Amino acid sequence: MAVSADTIRTNYPFAVYNFRVEIGTEAVAFSKVSGLTIQNEVTTYKESLVAAGSAGPRTMHMPAQINPVNITLTKGMAKATSVAHLYTWMNSIQLNQVEKKDIFVRLCDEVGAPLISWKVINAFPTKLDGPSFDASTNDVALETMELRADRISITET
């Protein structure tokens, strides 16, 4: 039996190749995004009261504070997509006047409409890597920017 397009659209996993990254109000073409992780610290408590029939103090694990988020963005370098705005944002840290920005990573369907959005809140750059040069390959020149953020929220659109 053939599977309908609607069944595929609702029951099959999304492909990861079609996404869009927005830094503030500007859309930037990145080839890879990683680190969209939501994680809490875990605090361990040891109860000193021993329940009847137990061998010793009871250990409990409880969620604690949200861990900060580390995002890595990778893109190919091209004349039309200059690194100037990323470098300017990174360079602003030296003056201790870094502008924190919200970043949206939107997973899109086959026509480019967003399906799910990750909002990276209060992000700022911590590292900007230039390309690795190697005369024995014909690889694309890639730059990588690492960001630190307060947290991530996820919404279906």
Choose among 14, 12, 13, 63: nearest CA to 38.
63
Please check the confidence at residue 2 and state whether its pLDDT lies above 90. Answer: no
For residue 22, what pLDDT is reported?
94
Whole-number Å distance between alpha carbons of 40 and 63: 6
Average pLDDT of every residue of the chain: 87
Q: CATH for 9-39+67-156?
A: 2.30.110.20
Q: 104-150 pLDDT, tens per residue?
A: 999 998 888 999 999 999 999 999 998 899 999 999 999 999 999 99
Q: 17-76 pLDDT, tens per residue?
A: 999 999 988 888 899 999 999 999 999 988 776 666 667 677 889 999 999 999 999 998
pTM here? Answer: 0.82
CA angle in degrees (0–180, nearest 5) for 87-90-91:
80
Residue 1 — very low, low, confident or very high, per pLDDT cuts 50/70/90? low
Please name the residue that has the structure tokens 């099959």: 12
Contact 130, 148 (CB under 8 A): no
